[in-house]
Amino acid sequence: MKTVTARAPINIALIKYWGKKDRVEVLPFQPSLSLSLDIFETKTTIKEVNLKGFHFLINGKEDEEVKRKTEKFIHLFDSNLSLEGIQIETNNTGPTAAGLASSASGFAALAVAANHFFGFHYNLDKLAAITRKGSGSAIRSLLPEAVAWYPEGHIKAIEFPFDDVVLGVIIINDQKKSIGSTEGMKLSVETSPEYQEWVKQSFIDFEQFQEGLKEENFNKIGQISEDNALRMHHVCETTTPSIHYLSKKSYEVISFIQKIRKNKHFEAYVTMDAGPNVKVLTKIKYKKQIEEMLHHQGIEILWSGIDTKGAVIIDG
């Protein structure tokens, strides 16, 4: 019986995506640029089974809502596709404490597995156009290392010249559940007076970040990333109703990292997404000291390297 397994990494954007210019095609207003990370991956198996109907398991359990979303996503390939006698199993492997959303790696792994299993064999552009309809940021999990996603919809692998870069995830648990990113970015587009400026500056950040990569200037890419993330959160905070993903504790951790950069000359920069956790972009040589300093304050950090595989078939 036929079986296909794919895996995909999560990704963290250093130049953020925050707003769609086309919500049907899922086209962003601004280019974004991410790193695929090896801390967490999704493995998805699609197989033929001797059972009636369509079967779905996520982390070993049934989940009707995710099952429906999965079916809907598969039908983006072909609305007439039958899932009779098919089972899809998806597993997220990585520290659950990291609070890293699995939707990006999930849709990327599912897209690659379905493309192969059902015999579509679409090229990257076509596959990317389907994947981003699952979740915009999932498109960037199709490729390893550094990935650019353009407002026209396509993605491109970007040469990442550093082999000593790590990303730490600082766990901050003191936040109530906030608005989801899909709804949050829609409100920002509609109401934030800073939105136009954010889009304009994102294009500049995207260009300058790539200059920094060409110059192999880590401090340049770090500073651009940090400023871009803080600007995105400013857009959220100036949205009506105001969106606060960052908590008091998040801001304390951000200040702490900025302080060790200033006082100890550590090359360490922060980036934050649609939640309170703070991610630290730094180099291997600072890992131990940053970890110890945070530990003294009762704060935990989990480290990730850069994923070198991207979304690929690993079996079948």
Report the distance separating Cα 64 and Cα 54, nearest Å.
11
Residue from 4, 6, 8, 26 touching ligand 2P0 (CB under 6 A): that is: 26
Residue from 205, 226, 273, 307 touching ligand 2P0 (CB under 6 A): that is: 273
By CB under 6 A, tell whether 118 contacts ligand 2P0. Answer: no
Q: Which long-range contacts (CB under 8 A, 24 or more apart) does 253-258 make?
A: 253/170, 253/172, 253/278, 253/294, 253/299, 254/230, 254/278, 256/293, 256/294, 256/297, 257/290
Stretch that binds ligand 2P0, among 12-20, 60-68, 260-268, 305-313 (CB under 6 A): 12-20
By CB under 6 A, tell whether 32 contacts ligand 2P0. Answer: yes
Report the distance separating Cα 111 and Cα 254, nearest Å.
35
Question: 19 is written with which tokens?
Answer: 């707003």
Residue (4 or 143) nearer to ligand 2P0, CB? 143
Stretch that binds ligand 2P0, among 73-81, 116-124, 129-137, 203-211 (CB under 6 A): 129-137
By CB under 6 A, tell whether 103 contacts ligand 2P0. Answer: yes
SS3 label, residue 88: strand
By CB under 6 A, tell whether 243 contacts ligand 2P0. Answer: no
By CB under 6 A, tell whether 136 contacts ligand 2P0. Answer: yes
Residue from 8, 10, 13, 66 touching ligand 2P0 (CB under 6 A): that is: 13
Q: Which helix (H) or strand (E) holds 233?
A: helix 218-237
What is the separation of C-alpha 252 from the centre of its chain, rounded to a whole number of angstroms? Answer: 24
Report the distance separating Cα 166 and Cα 43, nearest Å.
23
**260, 293 in Cβ contact below 8 A?**
yes
By CB under 6 A, tell whether 181 contacts ligand 2P0. Answer: yes
For residue 103, the minimal CB distance to ligand 2P0 (Å) is: 6
- The DSSP bridge pattern shows strands 54-58 and 86-93 to be parallel
- Closest chain position to ligand 2P0 (CB): 136
Question: 221 is written with which tokens?
Answer: 């890419």
Query: By the criterion CB under 6 A, which residues form the site for ligand 2P0?
Result: 13, 16-18, 26, 32, 103, 135-137, 181-182, 273-274
